[in-house]
Structure 1
Amino acid sequence: MPARHFDRTVVRAVRRAAEIPQAEVGAAVGAADSTVAGWELGSNVPDQEKLRGLAGVLRKPLDELFPREGSPDLTDLRCDAGLYRYEVARFIGTKSDGPVAAAENGVRRLKEKYVTKLAAAYGVSEKALEHAQERSFGNTVAETRDESAAAAETDESPRTLGEKISFLLKHSYPAGAAPGDEEIAEAVNRHAGSEVVTAEEVEALRAGADTNSPPPVVLEGLAEFFGVERMYFEPDEAVARQVYQGLRVLLASKNGGIRRVRARGLGPEGLSPEVLSLLTDLATEFEKQVGSEDPE
């Protein structure tokens, strides 16, 4: 079972930053103050069923505060709903949790009427619950196929500047450790050597509220801060044009126009034989598509 990851240091930092007493946390999840203290000290860890309540009292999304690698099975979905197994009998209208226990242990699949009721209780779709059930039985082929098809239909790659910044913040830092707008602004200003952006302007960029393209020095500072190429923050069409023009120049060098390549700022030595060798196949394919005339 891919249980959610509980990091006591993150939980403690989030609680202290929000100025929430341990007593308030314990009251929200039905635990003693000493138990909460033990979680933060590392002497014990909370039940997976407690994590939803913890995320709620700490005012953080469950996936952000307690990330999980992989997809959930039936037990995971139940825990994500904050329910212990003995509590689910009332949702499916049975005297015991036997049907759920059998399905979670990969012994007997849920009846269709139970699937509908449990999906509603867990706050997920029936398909998501059925996929989770297959994982409980050790079957993932059908689910992988369905998810691949869904991914093909939905392109979730970041396109706007705001989406690209948000993508880096979400995927480049541990949960709860992503830098804030003020920290980003300070880093960009250090790079520029003067104040070129404020925390409020970074927030506007991240939220997509500012549709104007920021000055190049801001993009350069963002690229340095996040450790990516400046081109990452350029609009897709601008990147495509740069790649296109680059291929035209490379094609010219391949066809003997090396002087023109030098004139475009590649230095007196032009392109090295190693680089030209690596790009031969790509340039050849490009030549087939657009012709071999030397660019003006």
Structure 2
Amino acid sequence: MRAVRRAAEISQSDVATALGAADSTVAGWELGSSVPDQEKLPALARVLKEPLDVLFPRNGLRDLTDLRCDAGLYRYEMAAVIGTKSDGPVAGAENGIRRLKDRYLPDLAAAYGVSVDEVNRAQERSIAKARGEEVEGETAAVAAVEEPPRTLAAKITLLLERSYPAGTAPTDAEIAAAVNTYAGSLVTSAEKVAALRTGADEAEAPAPVVLEGLADFFGVARLYFEPDDAVARQVYEGLRLMSAAKSGQVGRIRARGLGAEGLPAGVLSILNDLATEFEKKAAPDAND
């Protein structure tokens, strides 16, 4: 943190002022004698002019606590967000004790700047984490949700979460520019992409050329963005394989008995062959 601050030519006092903290508090963070609240990390990243996930990388995908803290919100503020007398419902869900009521989800999604589907997935991770469950060698907090994404917002979010290392996912503006280049005209904007990503525009279907541009940008089949669970599941399982390969756990994805709703036998065979190749490359040479 100190190195980043100095490289940006920002003083400790400026950081303290921006975060409403004392200079000594910031000094303590840099010395490692104390750590900032997780809720302060987004503001700290902004002050230091670094992406949050680059400055403070996390292991795995976000749970409910991560969503709230990434929005810079403290738990006590959540009562006003969901219109209750206390933050008990949010606290219970974050601790994996009880699920959120459906009527709270839209307000939380809006406050966190994500889709309702992403709130639901984060909730499953919080519950799995509280139970200490593991799935395929990963904590279930990371891989708890086995259902493929169904809404356009959930599909875009899944691609962004699984296809890019932390801090390298494209921005809404970059996605919009790529789609416009594909279309050869101005068919979307950063604001419209953000609305698709967060689910704000679920009632208004995007033009076919926008979906084609998104498919071309992310390198997936155009059908992935159609309301077809079978196609979505195939892409989902492919992304799980990629994730496992990146973490050195590709063998644990092998031959998972997906059944009729999962990958076709031919595709599964190809992925298993790919898994074997990964294992061969990862194995030490017997002559070494």
TM range (shorter): 0.3 to 0.5
If the length of structure 2 is used for normalisation, what is the TM-score?
0.47
Pair member with larger Rg: 1
If the length of structure 1 is used for normalisation, what is the TM-score?
0.46
